[in-house]
């Protein structure tokens, strides 16, 4: 069988090319049916370039027209408002309508400003309170010192005033220590041998007889109080001149009278003064006040208790009688 004639150099593959194209399209169609297309592979409908550029120019031209119109309207309003009073009612109405918006817009600033003033006022008040409390403490301390000085001045005045009843010279001394032994009522004063203070001299305060010097050093002395159990002082009742001995009991607020006959003329409230017997204490100085008199029919002597006139546990300044003779 003869082959079909063909021109030299030409390819006669028309039917074969057609078959291959058909097979290729069928395979692509089958593949598209087997798997769905994802969003990434789906075709995107891009606008045509000419249409996009045209719409952009249209929007820009419209914006320009709007801006130009607003400028023209603003200029016209300014010209009309400056030349005539036509827009004053409209401007007033707009101002009244917009005023609430101003308040709303300024409210955060106003609230913040008021809160700031409130906090600053609170801090300032707190600082003022602290300063005033400090000043109050200082003033109280100063007032306490002044009260202490006034009280000490009164005690000294009373102490110096009591020297009128003393016929001899006296020396003002200050109590600087109290002996810690509870069985002994002794104090230490700041005057000693250098101040002509010697053993046996009487010591008084503004209220009455306080005690006597029992030991002297160069600049200090020990004083035995009349409330000590080893101390006794001759006294007499100022009202009836009844003589007795006032002895210490170990208590600052109590003395006892020894050997008081049951029929003696003595009652509660009588003043006891130093009798001057023995030459140890000056005559007539207050020693105590009778508090109670107990007369038991079965006893020969009455039990008499008295309260010391001197502030034995409170005095700070005393007088030393440098001569014991009355």
- Domain 170-321: CATH class, spelled out: mainly beta
Name residue 320's beta-bridge partners: 171, 203
* pLDDT surpasses 90 at 60: no
Contact 193, 218 (CB under 8 A): yes
In whole angstroms, give the CA distance from residue 258 to residue 304.
8
Predicted model pTM: 0.54
Within 10 Å of residue 75's Cβ, how many Cβ atoms? 10
Within 10 Å of residue 37's Cβ, how many Cβ atoms? 9
Contact 149, 141 (CB under 8 A): no
Between the alpha carbon of residue 120 and those of residues 111, 114, 115, 116, the distances in Å are 14, 10, 8, 6
* pLDDT surpasses 50 at 324: no
Q: Give the residue extent of every domain in the chain.
A: 74-165, 170-321
CA torsion 23-29-30-33 (nearest 10°) is: 180
> What DSSP string describes 129-184?
HHHHHHHHHHHHHHHHHHHHHHHHHHHHHHHHHGGGG-SS-EEEEEEEEE-S-TT-
Listed residue (255, 248, 253) closest to 184, CA to CA: 248
In whole angstroms, give the CA distance from residue 249 to residue 246.
10
pLDDT of residue 249: 94
Q: Where are the alpha helices (DSSP H) in the chain?
A: 14-34, 49-83, 88-161
Label residue 10 by pLDDT band (50, 70, 90): very low
**pLDDT exceeding 90 applies to what percent of the chain?**
33
Q: What is the mean pLDDT of residues 100-106?
A: 68
Q: State pLDDT tens for residues 221-263.
A: 999 999 999 999 999 999 998 999 999 999 999 999 998 999 9
Label residue 67 by pLDDT band (50, 70, 90): confident
* Residue in this structure with the two tokens 């009612």, named with its chain if needed: 89
**Main-chain dihedrals φ then ψ at residue 36, nearest 5 degrees:** -75, 155
Q: State pLDDT tens for residues 254-311.
A: 999 998 999 999 999 999 999 888 888 888 889 999 999 999 988 889 999 999 999 9
pLDDT of residue 98: 62
In whole angstroms, give the CA distance from residue 257 to residue 185.
19
* Residue in this structure with the two tokens 């996009």, named with its chain if needed: 52
Give me the chain's average pLDDT, please: 76
Q: Could you give the 3-state DSSP secondary structure of residue 93?
A: helix
């Amino acid at each position: 069988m003869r082959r079909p004639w063909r021109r030299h150099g030409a390819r006669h593959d028309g039917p074969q090319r057609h078959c291959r194209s058909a097979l290729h399209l069928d395979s692509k169609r089958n593949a598209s049916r087997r798997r769905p297309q994802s969003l990434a592979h789906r075709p995107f409908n891009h606008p045509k370039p000419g249409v996009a550029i045209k719409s952009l120019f249209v929007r820009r031209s419209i914006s320009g027209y709007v801006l130009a119109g607003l400028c023209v309207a603003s200029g016209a309003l300014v010209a009309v408002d400056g030349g005539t009073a036509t827009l004053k009612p409209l401007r007033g109405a707009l101002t009244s309508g917009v005023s609430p918006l101003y308040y709303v817009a300024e409210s955060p600033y106003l609230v913040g400003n008021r809160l700031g003033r409130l906090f600053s006022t609170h801090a300032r008040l707190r600082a003022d309170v602290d300063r005033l409390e400090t000043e109050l403490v200082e003033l109280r301390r100063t007032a306490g010192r002044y009260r202490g000085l006034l009280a000490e001045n009164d005690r000294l005045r009373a102490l110096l005033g009591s020297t009128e009843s003393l016929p001899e010279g006296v020396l003002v001394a200050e109590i600087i220590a109290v002996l810690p032994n509870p069985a002994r009522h002794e104090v230490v004063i700041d005057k000693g041998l250098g101040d002509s203070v010697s053993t046996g001299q009487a010591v008084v305060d503004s209220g009455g007889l306080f005690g006597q010097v029992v030991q002297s050093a160069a600049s200090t002395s020990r004083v035995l109080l009349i409330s000590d159990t080893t101390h006794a002082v001759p006294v007499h009742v100022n009202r009836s001149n009844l003589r007795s001995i006032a002895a210490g009991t170990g208590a600052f607020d109590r003395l006892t009278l020894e050997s008081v006959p049951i029929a003696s003329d003595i009652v509660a409230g009588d003043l006891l003064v130093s009798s001057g017997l023995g030459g140890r204490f000056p005559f007539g100085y207050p020693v105590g006040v009778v508090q109670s008199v107990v007369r038991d029919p079965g006893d020969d002597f009455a039990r008499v208790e008295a309260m010391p006139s001197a502030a034995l546990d409170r005095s700070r300044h005393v007088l030393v009688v440098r001569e014991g003779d009355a």
